[in-house]
């Protein structure tokens, strides 16, 4: 039983690390599109929004995975 709990905590830690990487990517997209918008170039807005929606989907998938891990005996 302890081995299973240890594996679960390692999986959750890996998910948190991946989520942090996604957060950094999200911030990079935001800063890049904001800089372009301030210059008057709105060409990056739509691709950045699409990437943000994709990152949101991945984060929801990770959250559902954590909930699934907590429900397992």
Split into its structural domains, the chain has a count of: 1
Q: What is the pLDDT of residues 54-70, one digit of tens each?
A: 999 999 999 998 898 88
pLDDT of residue 3: 83
* d(C-alpha 49, C-alpha 37), whole Å: 13
User: How many C-beta atoms lie closer than 10 Å to residue 32's C-beta?
Assistant: 13
| 23 pLDDT tier (thresholds 50, 70, 90) | very high
Domain around 57: 2-71
User: How many C-beta atoms lie closer than 10 Å to residue 12's C-beta?
Assistant: 15
Q: What is the pLDDT of residues 24-53, one digit of tens each?
A: 999 999 999 999 999 999 999 999 999 999
């Amino acid at each position: 039983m302890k081995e299973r709990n240890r594996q679960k905590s390692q999986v959750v830690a890996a998910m948190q690390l991946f989520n942090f990487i996604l957060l950094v990517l999200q911030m990079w997209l935001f800063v890049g599109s904001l800089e372009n918008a301030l210059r008057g170039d709105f060409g990056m807005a739509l691709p950045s929004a699409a990437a943000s929606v994709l990152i949101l989907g991945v984060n929801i998938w990770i959250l559902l995975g954590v909930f699934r891990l907590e429900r397992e005996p």
